[in-house]
Structures are given as C-alpha cells and as structure tokens.
Amino acid sequence: MTSESIKKGRFGEYGGQYIPETLMNEIKKLEEAYEFYKEDEEFNGELDTLLKEYAGRPSLLYYAEKMTKDLGGAKIYLKREDLNHTGSHKINNVLGQVLLAKKMGKTRVIAETGAGQHGVATATAAALLGLECEIYMGKTDTERQALNVYRMELLGAKVHPVTSGTMTLKDAVNEAMREWTNRVNDTLYVLGSVMGPHPFPMIVRDFQSVISREAREQILEKENKLPDAVVACVGGGSNSMGMFYHFINDENVKLIGCEAAGKGIDTDMHAATIAKGSVGVFHGMKSLFCQNEEGQIAPVYSISAGLDYPGIGPEHAYLHDIGRAQYVSITDEEAVSAFEYIAKTEGIICAIESAHAVAEVIKLAPTMEKDQIIIVCLSGRGDKDVAAIARYRGVDLHE
Amino acid sequence: MSRINKAFENKKAFIGFLTAGDPNLDKTEEYVLKMAEAGADLIELGIPFSDPIAEGIVIQEANIRALSAGTTVEKVFATVKKIRQKTDVPLVFLTYLNPVFHYGYDGFLKKCQECGIDGLIIPDMPYEEKGEITDIAQKYDIDIISMIAPTSEERIGKIAETAKGFVYVVSSMGVTGVRQEIKTDLESIVEVIKKHTGTPAAIGFGISKPEQAEHFSKFADGVIVGSAIVKIIAEYGENAGDELTAYVRSMKEAVRG
C-alpha cells in the first residue's frame, strides 16, 4: 500500500493538475515516460550507477553516540544526506529527473531554486549528462546566496534572477513555470520538491525514497529492529517524504516533519504551512498554503531559504490529515541553537534546514526510553549557512 | 440567448481585458463603460491574484497595483453590480482558481449570478480539473470558459465539445503579453474546434495591433486583447479614458474587417 488514494495523482483531496492548458500534453507525456522508465531495467541500472558511483550512495546511517549520551534518552541515528555529492539530498531527485529528461529526448532543463541547493544539483546533473540548464532564482536569494549563483555558473548553467513578487522561492517557481509554457518541446522542468502538478509529487518522492529504503535496511542491520521515530525537516517536503516513504506502512514508526516557525507561529514571520495554512490551489496542486483571507498567497519567512516556501507537498498534507505523520514547528532560534549543538557535539556542520529536524530531536530524545531509536535526516551540509548564522549571532565576519 | 451568445451574434467580437482595481475600482467601472461604448462586445475583468502564473509582466504588474490599491473579491463584486446597472455588455471574470476556491465555489458563483457576471475564465483549471466547478456553475448559469493552446492537439475535440460561452484559443506558447509576430497555425486549430462545437472561438494572447485583429477575425469569431489595454492603463493611470476609447474603436473597426 502507498498513501496514494485510488484516484491517480491524488492524495486524498490533495494533488491534481491545476496548470495552464499549454502544459497539459507535456505533463501527460512526462507521466507516460516516467511510468515506462521506472520499470525499465536499463534506466534503473543507469540511475543506480549514477547514485553509487557519482553521488556517493548509499549514504551513511551514523550512530550519534555523543548526542545520544548527552540527551540521555533514545538512541539517535543520523541519515547523512549531507555527505552526498553537491552536499544535500537534492542530487537523488535531479539525477533521476535529468536522466529521464535525456531519455525523453530533451536537450534542456530548467529549475527553480531557493537557497541554491536544488539549482546547484540540477546544474551538476545537467553538466554530467550534457543538457543545457537554466535556473530561476529569486533576486533576494541570488543576493543572499551569491556563492551558489557563481557555483551554478561554474557548472555551465545560466541563472535568471527573478524580480517579480517577493523575489524568493515561490516567485522562482512562478517564473520557471512561465518559462516552461514558453518552451516545452525540448525542455523539462526539473521540479525540486514533492510539489507541483501530478506527476511531480510522485516522481520526486520516488527518487527521494532511496533515503528511507537505505535507512530501513541499515537500521535493521545495526539494531535488528525498526526505529521508533523518524524526523526530517519540511519545506516543500522532499527530504522528509523520502525519509518517511518506506516507513509509512510500519505503523509503529512515528513520522515527524519539522516546519519553519521563523520568528514564531504567532507572528506573521514564519513558513509553517501545516500549523497555520489552509487548503488552497497553487503551483499546480491542491494542498495546504499560507494565504490571507482573500486567498492571496502570503509572504513567508524563515532563516532557512530552503524552507521559505508558502506551501507543502500534497502527500504531506494527506499524511497529516489521516494522522499518519505529525508536524511540529521549529523557530529560527531553536534551529540555530541545534545547528551549533550538533557542530560542537558531533563535529557536523549541517544545513540550517536540517537543523530544524535536529532541534526536534533535542526536544524528543530525552522524553524517550534508552532502548528506543530515532533516525533524523541530515538533509544537507551547512557550509552555505555559516555566514548567515554568524550574522544571526551578531558576529562580524570579514571574508 | 445568453449575453455571451449575443456578443458573437452575426458579428466578429472584440473582447477587451482589464484588471479590476487597476488603478482603482472607480476607474475600473469608468473604463469598462468606456470600452463598452467604444464597441467592445465582451469585457473580461481580471480579479487580481498574488501569483498569476499565466501572465506576462504587464498583467503581473497590474495585479500588484490592484492588490496594493486594496482590491478584494467582495469589492470587485460590488463594482460589477454598479457596472451592470449601466450596461448590458457581457462580462466575464478572469482569475486563478485559489481566490475562487478560497471564497467557496458555490458562494462565488452565486454572487457572480447576482451581480450579472456571465462567465468565468480560470487559466490554472484545465479540462481534467474543471469537474469540481462545472455543476455549480451550471446551477447559477455561469459559463466556464475553456482554453485551447497550440499544444492541445488531440485534446481539442473533448475540450471543444464541452465548451460553454466561447472557446478561448491561446495564440502562442508562453504567457500573456504583446507579441510582434504570432506563428502558430491558428486557422487549422480553429478549423478543428469548429468540427466539434458550434460555440464561438476567440483568439487571445499577444494581440495588440489592428492588423492582427483583422487577420484573425477572418477565421475566428473574435479576438481578445489584454496586455495592450493594461499597458494603456499603466501609462495613463486615472486618465486613460480617452486613450482606451480610441484604442477599442480602432480594434473594433479592424475586427469588422
């Protein structure tokens, strides 16, 4: 069983294909191509090789012994997606999608990016597989993450700063969708999260589900039992969906997603879609969104550019509705403290996004028994965040 | 006969679009009336949305101006009510699904009927998803206008067969905005549409010049102009009345052929 309901492309009432007519045939072609290639031995063989030989999979499941002892409760394991090539889980999805694009005969990929992780990963896969690549990134984000812009350019991608709307991730998605309607014949839009119109939420989930497929085997090997809880951060929700997927049918495994509460969910400076959002239709999907009383999409905020998105993937909205997964909100302050804590305790500088999940583990582990197990997804590494954390702490860095 | 049918009765229709609330709703009322007087056969009123993914920069900016001016769905309804007291010109809303969904389909469409709106265009609601609104729309006698794109190919038949009001033929790939040249073979697309439905087909996206209007009117039932009108409003703000009148007159003239 999967959590997909009977109707294709739907997770309960969520999901669907709310996109302009211009894209409908293309999205249907994508769906057909994906249904074909996901069963294709050659495709899967090539993807497996790329994941192993290029991205560095399987990623480690590391027992965080010092953290475990310090927190004095459940045993904590870290799923080290930060060790992948390009430094985050994003590579899992883009290798799959860019390979799929190539098989479909596309010569060009476009993608949105927030912090730059998905943009860098897409540019990387496009360079490797020989496709042209253009990245849409909010102008605010290009300024906050100038290094990632240069990184994408080094990889041969063209980066378009998006100056519409709030000039962040949501606007980058708008612009990438607009560009896709402009040019579908030779171009695939490589979406970075488990969102957008069907089949994207399914495709991205499937490619990211390698995280939980490995983690499940690894924990059974190490502990001979399943974890009691699995924890991951949620923006659009790709690393969490990947981390949850193969545990969904294990009813005793708690699934916990950590949203960005920014300056607090009682302020208007947050990106906590499950806690504060409501049902809507946007970016091709019916799901939960932060929006105002007029149905206008609300500006959101988080210290983490990767979680700074006003919606959430439709499968998460569904897992929340049926009570299979629970979602908590983590403030900037909690995330930054967790970022510092795991650096000092385990010697790991993780992404500020991932630090939202670590913050939840810091709260949760002490409330659990010593023979219980938590796996937390370290979705990315934190080099990109060091300057922002220093700024947050009032440290003046001269680079 | 519905007001929309009348727009196409024994003539080629000129359809004009403007964003409600740009620069403010009093001006929207004035501009709609001016356009109707100048010969517009049907007017599309855009309800502004924060993230209009099918729009080019000109209409995106109009959306922002309208929202910044405090435009709300309720206020747009009130404006339509006032307009309807003064003119019989067919009026359709163009907006994105979220504001409609958020208002509630039933409430929204009921209100459309009460205010005298004739149809609804929702660019992010394709054929596959329109089922969630069509029955309710029918109950209140509001036509859900379907769009057909250059990429629709074998989808044209099923879309055309269930089309209400008029078929909105998207002239080009991409988003709305003025184009120098439109290369799509629209004549063939319109021909296929005609095989499947008697509902009129109007062409939009990229049209700004009388020559284009004249050309497309030869085989389509009407042309739709948005960005060129919104540009006039952007340039002249609260004093766009005369410019709009002159522009709509010239386009209507061209459509007559």
> What whole-number percentage of chain A has pLDDT above 90?
92
pLDDT of residue B1: 79
Q: Which of B128, B171, B183 is most worth mutating to test chain A (most A CB atoms within 10 A of its CB)?
A: B128
pLDDT tens figures, A54-112 = 999 999 999 999 999 999 999 999 999 999 999 999 999 999 999 999 999 999 999 99
Instruction: Kindly indicate the confidence band of residue A115, based on its pLDDT and cuts at 50, 70 and 90.
Output: confident
Å from B98 to nearest chain A CA? 5
> Which residues from chain B sit within 8 angstroms of residue A295, using beta carbons?
49, 73, 98-103
Sign of torsion over alpha carbons A150, A152, A157, A160 = negative
Distance CA B20, CA A67 (A): 57
Distance CA A326, CA A316 (A): 9
Catalytic residue among A112, A214, A259, A334: A112
> Which residues from chain A sit within 8 angstroms of residue B53, using beta carbons?
20, 174, 177-178, 283
Query: Residue length, chain B?
Result: 257
Query: Is the distance from CB of A319 to CB of A351 less than 8 angstroms?
Result: no
Q: Does the beta carbon of A355 lie under 8 angstroms from any beta carbon of chain B?
A: no
Task: Kindly report whether the peptide bond that precedes residue B23 is cis, defined as omega within 30 degrees of 0.
Answer: yes
Of A181, A284, A286, which has the smallest distance from its Cβ to B175's Cβ? A181
Concatenate the DSSP letters of all residues of B3-56 into one string. HHHHHTTTSPEEEEEEETTSS-HHHHHHHHHHHHHTT-SEEEEEPP-S--TT--
Token output for A200: 């994207």
pLDDT of residue A328: 98
Query: Is the distance from CB of A136 to CB of A162 less than 8 angstroms?
Result: yes
pLDDT tens figures, A245-297 = 999 999 999 999 999 999 999 999 999 999 999 999 999 999 999 999 999 99
Per-residue pLDDT averaged across A19-31, rounded?
97
Where do we find the tokens 């475990």? A68
Distance CA A55, CA B187 (A): 50
Q: Does the beta carbon of A170 lie under 8 angstroms from any beta carbon of chain B?
A: yes
Q: Residues 189..248 of A with a Cβ closer than 8 Å to B: which?
A: none
> Which residues from chain A sit within 8 angstroms of residue B98, using beta carbons?
280-282, 289, 291, 295-297
Query: Is the distance from CB of B207 to CB of B224 less than 8 angstroms?
Result: yes
Inspect the interface and report whether the beta carbons of B101 and A164 lie closer than 8 Å. no
Q: Which residues contact B103 (CB under 8 A, 6 or more apart)?
A: A295, B73, B111
Query: Is the distance from CB of B44 to CB of B94 less than 8 angstroms?
Result: yes
Concatenate the DSSP letters of all residues of A196-219 into one string. SSTTHHHHHHHHHTHHHHHHHHHH
> Which residues from chain B sit within 8 angstroms of residue A184, using beta carbons?
151, 173
Active site residue A102: no
pLDDT of residue A306: 87
Ramachandran area for residue A29 (φ above 0: left; ψ -120 to 50: alpha; else beta)? alpha
Inspect the interface and report whether the beta carbons of A20 and B123 lie closer than 8 Å. yes
Query: Is the distance from CB of B88 to CB of B118 less than 8 angstroms?
Result: no
Residue A185 exposed, middle or buried by CB count within 10 Å (0-12, 13-18, 19+):
exposed
Query: Is the distance from CB of B224 to CB of B18 less than 8 angstroms?
Result: no
Distance CA A314, CA B16 (A): 37
Does position A3 have pLDDT exceeding 50, yes or no? no
C-alpha distances in angstroms, A221 versus A214, A227, A250, A347, B14?
11, 12, 17, 25, 71
Distance CA A129, CA A57 (A): 18
How far apart are the two ends of chain B, measured CA to CA in Å?
25
Token output for A293: 């009383």
Quote the pTM value.
Answer: 0.97
Nearest to A274 by CA among A243, A229, A319: A319
Q: What residues does each domain of chain B span?
A: 3-144+203-256
Active site residue A112: yes
> What whole-number percentage of chain A has pLDDT above 70?
98
Inspect the interface and report whether the beta carbons of A284 and B150 lie closer than 8 Å. no
Report the amino acid identity of residue B240: A
Inspect the interface and report whether the beta carbons of B102 and A171 lie closer than 8 Å. no
Catalytic residue among A209, A240, A354, A379: A379
C-alpha distances in angstroms, A139 versus A112, A123, B29, B255?
12, 18, 36, 42
Instruction: Kindly indicate the confidence band of residue A145, based on its pLDDT and cuts at 50, 70 and 90.
Output: confident
Q: Which residues contact A132 (CB under 8 A, 6 or more apart)?
A: A107, A108, A109, A126
Q: Between A and B, how many residue pairs show a Cβ–Cβ distance under 8 A? A: 114
Where do we find the tokens 């009348």? B6
Count of other CB atoms within 10 angstroms of residue A260: 29
Q: Which residues contact B147 (CB under 8 A, 6 or more apart)?
A: A20, A21, B121, B123, B126, B159, B167, B168, B169, B170
Report the amino acid identity of residue A391: R
Per-residue pLDDT averaged across B70-97, rounded?
98
Of B57, B125, B152, which has the smallest distance from its Cβ to A25's Cβ? B152
Å from A295 to nearest chain B CA? 5
Catalytic residue among A75, A90, A254, A276: A90
Inspect the interface and report whether the beta carbons of B98 and A182 lie closer than 8 Å. no
pLDDT tens figures, A366-398 = 999 999 999 999 999 999 899 899 999 999 887
Per CB distance under 8 Å, which residues of B are interface residues toward A?
49-51, 53-54, 56-57, 60, 64, 67, 72-73, 96-103, 123-129, 146-153, 155, 159, 170, 173-175
Å from B57 to nearest chain A CA? 8
Inspect the interface and report whether the beta carbons of A182 and B175 lie closer than 8 Å. yes
pLDDT of residue A5: 45
> What whole-number percentage of chain B has pLDDT above 70?
100
Task: Kindly report whether the peptide bond that precedes residue A58 is cis, defined as omega within 30 degrees of 0.
Answer: yes
Distance CA A24, CA B155 (A): 9
Query: Is the distance from CB of A322 to CB of A19 less than 8 angstroms?
Result: no
C-alpha distances in angstroms, A186 versus A152, A177, B101, B183?
21, 15, 34, 18
> What is the fold of B3-144+203-256?
TIM Barrel (3.20.20)
Does position A6 have pLDDT exceeding 60, yes or no? no
Bridge partners (DSSP) listed for residue B15 = B42, B224
Phi then psi for residue B136, to 5 deg, are -65, -40
Of A24, A174, A177, which has the smallest distance from its Cβ to B155's Cβ? A24
CA A314 to chain centre: 13
Query: Is the distance from CB of B18 to CB of B230 less than 8 angstroms?
Result: yes
Å from B50 to nearest chain A CA? 5
* Angle in degrees, 0-180, between the axes of helices A200-208 and A314-321, rounded to the nearest 10: 80
Q: Which of B102, B152, B184 is most worth mutating to test chain A (most A CB atoms within 10 A of its CB)?
A: B102
Q: Which of B64, B93, B98, B159 is most worth mutating to test chain A (most A CB atoms within 10 A of its CB)?
A: B98
Q: What is the DSSP letter of A193?
A: S
> Which residues from chain A sit within 8 angstroms of residue B129, using beta carbons?
16-18
> Which residues from chain A sit within 8 angstroms of residue B151, using beta carbons?
21-26, 184
Q: Across the beta sheet with A14-18, what order do the strands follow?
A: A10-11, A14-18, A284-289, A278-282
Does position A124 have pLDDT exceeding 90, yes or no? yes
Task: Kindly report whether the peptide bond that precedes residue A299 is cis, defined as omega within 30 degrees of 0.
Answer: no
Å from B49 to nearest chain A CA? 6
Q: What is the DSSP letter of B147?
A: E
Inspect the interface and report whether the beta carbons of B174 and A178 lie closer than 8 Å. yes
> Which residues from chain B sit within 8 angstroms of residue A282, using beta carbons?
51, 98
Q: Residues 295..354 of A with a Cβ closer than 8 Å to B: which?
A: 295-297
Å from A257 to nearest chain B CA? 26
Of A16, A19, A295, which has the smallest distance from its Cβ to B98's Cβ? A295
pLDDT of residue A2: 47
pLDDT of residue A399: 59
Per-residue pLDDT averaged across B38-63, rounded?
97
Inspect the interface and report whether the beta carbons of B149 and A182 lie closer than 8 Å. no
